[in-house]
């Protein structure tokens, strides 16, 4: 597939073990071109999310992909953030103490980068949002034309007709910045939400892990190293022998929408059925 035909993707991410999986899937999907990563708090604080994004690109030998650092606070400037280090480890990547990355984030903020790319390629850029929606909401606030210029926003978030994973109502990414979620879901852009009603059906089992461990691929070996803590969390929190593939599922919805079926949401956005 020629470069021009490949769907342009920006991943807004809070790496995060399942974020690492999604980023590796994206970098290895010939259907898409990853034109940048933007970072956000969620699984870790934003500073660490940026460090991990740069580190993951170095592991994948793709330091050519720019990283733009996102917001350190919620859209309402809230600083009391819910950080899911109990799911991903205090370093966000399974407590592996990886060395600091060599590269640096670009000077632009995540919101500015999102606006710039949407303006440069109107209707052609898909944002895959894997954390709280602060950066996307800031892009909408700073450029009212952003919803028209962005091709699609694929959101890993929400719990449609099922309980949340933070409390009976809320899923972690929406809970992380509900005001930002409100701005994004009602902005009029083409929005596709992949909720935990779907991602809880997409499980990497212990047997799948064994298969992955047998692969000689460098990225498979890397993922096996960081996945231990994610498996332990799922065993304790959900009593399952496997892990939920939240972020990779959302990424795949962007790469190949025909893998899933959709239903219409209240403000015209779609979510996976
Ligand atoms: O308490 C939690 N339970 C489950 N997943 C969580 C929790 N906190 C954060 N995540 C993270 O949020 C996304 C899905 O909601 C996933 O990226 C998951 O790793």
Task: Determine the Cα–Cα distance for residues 256 and 273; give it in Å rounded to an integer.
Answer: 16
pLDDT digit string, tens, across residues 162-181: 999 999 999 999 999 999 99
Q: What pLDDT score does 1 carry?
A: 62
pLDDT recorded at residue 227: 98
Q: What is the dihedral of CA 111, 113, 119, 123, to 10 degrees?
A: -80
Contact 202, 244 (CB under 8 A): yes
A 10 A CB-CB count for 211 gives 11
In the predicted model, is pLDDT for residue 161 greater than 70?
A: yes
Per-residue confidence (pLDDT) for residue 185, from 0 to 100:
96
From 14, 18, 177, 247, the catalytic residue: 14
Q: How far is the CA of 87 from the centre of ligand 1 (A)?
A: 7
Which is the catalytic residue, given 55, 88, 234, 246? 246
Domain boundaries of the chain, sorted by first residue: 3-258
Query: How far is ligand 1, taken at its centre, from the CA of residue 172, in Å?
Result: 5
Please tell me the predicted confidence (pLDDT) of residue 272: 85
Model confidence at 130: pLDDT above 70: yes
Asked whether this complex has an ipTM greater than 0.85, the answer is yes
The mean pLDDT value for 194-218 works out to 97
pLDDT of residue 53: 98
**Quick one: pLDDT band at residue 265, thresholds 50, 70, 90?**
confident
Q: What is the mean pLDDT of residues 113-137?
A: 98
Tell how far the Cα of 43 is from the centroid of ligand 1, in angstroms: 7
Reported in sequence order, the residue ranges of the chain that DSSP labels E, i.e. its strands, are: 7-13, 32-39, 67-68, 125-129, 152-156, 191-194, 203-205, 242-244, 262-264, 270-272
Ligand 1 — pocket residues by CB below 6 A? 16, 18, 43, 84, 87, 165-166, 171-173, 196, 246-247
| CATH (residue range 3-258) | 3.90.245.10
Asked if the peptide bond before residue 16 counts as cis, ω within 30 degrees of 0, the response is: yes
Q: Mean pLDDT, the chain, as a whole number?
A: 96
pLDDT in tens, 4-31: 689 999 999 999 999 999 999 999 999 9
DSSP result, 26-73: HHT-TTEEEEEEEE-SSSS-HHHHHHHHHHHHHHTT-TTS-EEB--SS
Share of the chain above pLDDT 90, in %: 93
Q: Name the residue at shortest CA distance from atom 15 of ligand 1.
A: 172
Average pLDDT over residues 146-154: 98
Which tokens belong to 183? 């701005």
Please confirm, yes or no, whether 14 is among the known catalytic residues: yes
Mean pLDDT for 35-52 is 98
Cα–Cα distances (Å) from 211 to 6, 43, 199, 208, 221, in that order, read 30, 27, 21, 5, 11
Q: What is the pLDDT of residue 71?
A: 98
- Residues 200 and 194: beta-carbon distance below 8 Å: no
């Amino acid at each position: 597939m020629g470069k021009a035909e490949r769907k342009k993707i920006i991943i807004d991410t809070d790496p995060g073990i399942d974020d690492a999986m999604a980023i590796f899937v994206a970098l290895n999907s010939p259907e898409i071109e990853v034109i940048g990563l933007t970072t956000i708090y969620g699984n870790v604080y934003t500073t660490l999310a940026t460090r991990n994004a740069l580190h993951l690109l170095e592991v994948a030998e793709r330091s050519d992909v720019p990283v733009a650092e996102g917001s350190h606070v919620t859209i309402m400037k809230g600083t009391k953030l819910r950080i899911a280090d109990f799911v991903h480890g205090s370093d966000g990547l399974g407590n592996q103490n990886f060395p600091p990355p060599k590269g640096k984030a670009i000077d632009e903020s995540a919101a500015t980068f999102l606006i710039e790319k949407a303006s440069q390629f109107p209707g052609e850029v898909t944002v895959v949002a894997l954390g709280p929606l602060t950066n996307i909401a800031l892009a909408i606030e700073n450029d009212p034309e952003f919803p028209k210029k962005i091709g699609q926003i694929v959101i890993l978030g929400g719990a449609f007709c099922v309980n949340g994973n933070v409390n009976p109502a809320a899923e972690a990414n929406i809970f992380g910045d509900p005001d930002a979620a409100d701005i994004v879901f009602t902005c009029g852009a083409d929005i596709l939400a992949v909720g935990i009603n779907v991602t809880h059906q997409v499980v990497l089992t212990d047997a799948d892990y064994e298969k992955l461990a047998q692969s000689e691929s460098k990225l498979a070996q890397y993922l096996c190293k960081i996945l231990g803590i994610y498996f332990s969390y799922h065993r304790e929190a959900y009593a399952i022998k496997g892990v939920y593939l939240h972020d990779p599922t959302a990424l795949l919805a962007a790469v190949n929408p025909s893998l899933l079926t959709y239903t219409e949401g209240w403000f015209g956005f779609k979510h996976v059925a």
